[in-house]
Structure 1
Amino acid sequence: MKTVLRGAIVAATAALCLAGGVSAASAGPAPATDSGPHVLFSRKVCAREITVRNIPTEGSSPVATLVGGTTVEVDDTYNGVWFHIYSPANGWVLAQYLCS
């Protein structure tokens, strides 16, 4: 009798799973997979201070000022002259003021 009852419970559980009654979605939300910007490389500010700009042009609006020794994360380049950074500020800096 116990074997028949166990068999019935296993069969009912399998039928419930196959019918979609139990799914991975019911376990809660999936973890976030966005890993942020793609980092090309990191550099340090070699000048006493540099201006972070909103576009890669010398006369463009300043976004922030970074002091020497600050590590920045570069995620894009423009003409080999400008680097786009996203950390610790988001904008464009002249590559000549950054070093390895």
Structure 2
Amino acid sequence: MREMTVKEVETSLKEGKKLNIIDVREVDEVTAGKIPGAVNIPLRLVEFRIHELDKSKEYVMVCRSGGRSGRAKQFLESYGFKVINMAGGMLAWEGEVE
């Protein structure tokens, strides 16, 4: 499974790299804070919102600890998307939140 650490994601953002981050936590979890610029698509809705994604882009999947984002990654890869899982999830995130 292709992964990035929390630090790699944070460093990439600080360097100004454009990351397409999808937070698959539930809406009530995201209200506590999400990575700036991340799009919230709860895991249970990913299959219904797949048409919103672009196969030419690479996506970084985020959740609370890495489990749900790993499932979302596998699902999207099965449809031909390029996806990376952020290992450790928001529990390990020490960067800025919005």
Do they fold alike, i.e. is TM over 0.5? no
Task: Answer 1 or 2: which has greater strand percent.
Answer: 1
Q: Which has the higher contact order (CA 8 A, sep 6+)?
A: 2
Task: Answer 1 or 2: which has greater helix percent.
Answer: 2
TM-score (norm 2): 0.25
TM-score (norm 1): 0.25
Structure number with larger C-alpha Rg: 1
